[in-house]
């Protein structure tokens, strides 16, 4: 009998979770989490893992596997370390990489958090092999994080999703650049909701966007502050293919949240934080690789078609909340919410 009480399950946890932890590392580390992910040309899954040492500083380390689940070959030493002499914004480490393969550049662009005295900012590095990297330095100054590049230009420009922190909250923005160095045309894409919502006050891009024939599918995280601490959960949205600052659909409910013990217990409990996604050869099956409780790495599997169907059932351009609610807390309450790039229903 169908269970009418159950919510849709869009992501299935892998039975062997957590798939990677500090115990697997070939050198001493405290935790491994929040990996970027990609499939290399030969089908190998590469995770660029955030590795935290006992100083509390993070570096990135590559792990490769033929099936993306086990048999990981982990670099014997850190793959990408902070270079705080030339890049002082990396003084306290490099964190949370998101990987995008850009055919035009024939290279992977890694967007990562550079953590320095001024706070976390967004930096870019290019690589062809995850052995040598060419740094572009900081492209978004602190406070800003949760960034990923789109794999192709949109209307002639590269496009970067990112999450600056403002007095009004932490909202997802998009910026455009002709050369990956000069960024402008900043547009608000997805504001945090307010009040009791699961994604009130703080949202951020999780893995890079997935291009579908209906638009860019976004898996994003919402952070709910509770008396027991923060709860990191995932939601879905769909952005216009040629105008990605336009949100076509935003789901009302979260679709994945910390439940398993390895997600609820760890250095930072109640965190499921994916920075990486891979799409299988069938063009539909996705694997999200996520940091669990800022301690280890887990894997869950979903379907693009099911996520789009779910958005059709549970999404709206305004995300199912009133336009007046979309106004950031400190904005004057006079006129409509022209600043938000939500497409009116039916437009």
Site for ligand BMA in 239-268 (CB under 6 A): 268
Quick one: which of 96, 199, 245, 263 contacts ligand BMA (CB under 6 A)? 96
Considering the rule CB under 6 A, would residue 149 count as an interface residue with ligand BMA?
no
Identify which of residues 90 and 294 has a Cβ nearer to ligand BMA in the complex.
294
CB of 24 to ligand BMA, least distance (A): 19
- The closest of 180, 176, 178, 203 to 192, measured between CA atoms, is 203
Q: Is 273 in the site for ligand BMA (CB under 6 A)?
A: yes
Number of chain residues interacting with ligand BMA (CB under 6 A): 9
Distance of closest approach, residue 226 Cβ to ligand BMA, in angstroms: 14
> Is the CB of residue 79 less than 8 Å from the CB of residue 130?
yes
Q: Which is nearer to ligand BMA, 224 or 327 (CB)?
A: 224
Helix, strand or coil, per DSSP, at residue 262? helix
Rounded-to-integer distance, Cα 71 and Cα 22, Å: 15
Give min distance, CB of 152 to ligand BMA, in A.
Answer: 27
d(CA 192, CA 170): 6
Between 96 and 144, name the residue whose CB sits nearer to ligand BMA. 96
* Token reading at 155: 């209307």
Span 206-235, contacts to ligand BMA by CB under 6 A = 232
Cβ 267 to ligand BMA shortest distance, Å: 8
DSSP-assigned letters across all residues of 109-162 = EEEEEEEETTEEEEEEEEESSSSSEEEEEEEEPSSEEEEEE-SS-BTTBEEEEE
Q: Using the minimum distance from each CB to ligand BMA, give the nearer residue, 176 or 273.
A: 273
Nearer of residues 113 and 175 to ligand BMA, judged by Cβ: 113
Q: Which is nearer to ligand BMA, 192 or 246 (CB)?
A: 192
294 binds ligand BMA, rule: CB under 6 A: yes
Count other C-beta atoms under 10 Å from residue 200's C-beta.
16
Closest approach, Cβ 185 to ligand BMA, in A, equals: 26
What is d(CA 103, CA 23) in angstroms, rounded to the nearest whole number? 36
Question: ∠ at Cα 210 (148, 326), nearest 5°?
Answer: 70
Closest CA to 274 of 209, 343, 322, 341: 209
Nearest-CA neighbor of 152 among 192, 211, 92, 95? 211
Return phi, psi of residue 265, to 5°: -125, 135
The distance of closest approach from Cβ of residue 251 to ligand BMA in the complex, given in angstroms and rounded to an integer, is 21
Site for ligand BMA in 35-94 (CB under 6 A): none
Tell me the closest approach of the beta carbon of residue 31 to ligand BMA, in angstroms: 10
Q: Output DSSP code: residue 209.
A: P
- Selected binder of ligand BMA within 95, 199, 245, 263 (CB under 6 A): 95
- Residue among 34 and 177 whose Cβ is closer to ligand BMA: 34
- Regarding 310 and contact with ligand BMA (CB under 6 A), the answer is no
Binding site for ligand BMA (CB under 6 A): 34, 95-96, 232, 268, 271, 273, 291, 294
């Amino acid at each position: 009998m169908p269970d009418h009480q159950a919510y849709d399950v869009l992501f299935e946890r892998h039975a062997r979770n957590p798939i990677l932890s500090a115990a697997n590392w070939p050198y001493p580390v405290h935790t491994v989490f929040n990996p970027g992910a990609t499939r290399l040309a030969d089908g190998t899954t590469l995770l660029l893992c955030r590795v935290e040492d006992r100083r509390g500083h993070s570096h990135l380390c590559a792990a490769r596997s033929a099936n993306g689940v086990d048999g990981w070959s982990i670099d014997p030493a850190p793959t990408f370390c902070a270079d705080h002499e030339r890049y002082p914004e990396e003084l306290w480490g490099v964190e949370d990489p998101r990987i995008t393969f850009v055919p035009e550049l024939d290279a992977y662009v890694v967007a990562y958090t550079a953590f320095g005295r001024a706070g976390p900012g967004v930096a870019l590095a290019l690589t062809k092999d995850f052995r040598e990297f060419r740094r572009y330095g900081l492209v978004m100054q602190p406070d800003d994080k949760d960034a990923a590049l789109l794999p192709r230009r949109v209307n002639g420009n590269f496009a970067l999703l990112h999450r600056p922190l403002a007095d009004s909250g932490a909202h997802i923005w998009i910026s455009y650049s002709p050369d990956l160095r000069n960024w402008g045309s900043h547009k608000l894409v997805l504001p945090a909701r307010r009040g009791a919502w699961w994604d009130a006050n703080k949202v951020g891009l999780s893995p890079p966007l997935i291009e579908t024939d209906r638009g860019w599918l976004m898996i994003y995280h919402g952070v709910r502050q509770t008396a027991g601490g923060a709860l990191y959960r995932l939601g879905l949205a769909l952005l216009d293919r040629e105008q990605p600052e336009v949100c076509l659909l935003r789901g009302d409910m979260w679709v994945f949240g910390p439940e398993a013990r390895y997600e609820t217990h760890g250095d930072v409990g109640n965190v499921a934080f994916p920075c990486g996604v891979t799409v299988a050869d069938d063009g539909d099956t996705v694997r999200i690789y996520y940091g669990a409780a800022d301690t280890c790495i887990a894997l869950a599997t979903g379907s693009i078609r099911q996520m789009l169907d779910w958005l059709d059932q549970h999404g709206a351009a305004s995300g199912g909340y009133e336009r007046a609610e979309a106004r950031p807390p400190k904005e004057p309450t006079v006129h409509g919410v022209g600043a938000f790039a939500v497409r009116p229903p039916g437009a």
